[in-house]
Amino acid sequence: MAHSHSHDHGAHSHGHSLDESATMETDETMTEANHQATVVATFDSYRQQALSANQRRRADYYALPQRHRDLLPDYNDLLAKVRLYSIHAHHGGCQT
């Protein structure tokens, strides 16, 4: 449904027309954009939490005596991979 009206501003006049379908499309686009921004923010928050948890694991690992760390020879490499995948996924390149 369209709505139109005109104005007389003394020396000049002009008209306005409002198409409700265009307004609805704009509202839907804004709603979709807001939803997408929320999803991106949620994933970014998850990434930050995952990186923090991984950092705690690293600190806990290094708090262990060397003889205990020796029992987990590949653990530090695993933590490094988790960090790299988290960063890589943040930049949109995770293919696994």
Domain for residue 6, yes or no?
no
Give domain status of residue 40, yes or no: yes
62 contact partners, CB below 8 Å, separation of at least 6: 69
Instruction: Tell me, yes or no, whether 84 lies in a domain.
Output: yes
Domain of 73? 26-96
Q: Is the pTM of this model over 0.85?
A: no
pLDDT digits (tens, 9 = 90+) for 76-94: 899 989 888 877 766 655 4
Residue-wise pLDDT for 24-39, tens only, equals 678 788 888 899 999 9
| Residue 26 amino acid letter | T
**Token pair 């709505």 is at which residue?**
3
Burial 57-95 (b: 16+ CB within 10 A, else e): ebeeeeeeeeeeeeeeeeeeeeeeebeeebeebeeeeee
For residue 79 the two structure tokens come to: 């933590």
**Mean confidence (pLDDT) of the chain:** 79
Asked whether residue 43 is assigned to any structural domain, the reply reads yes
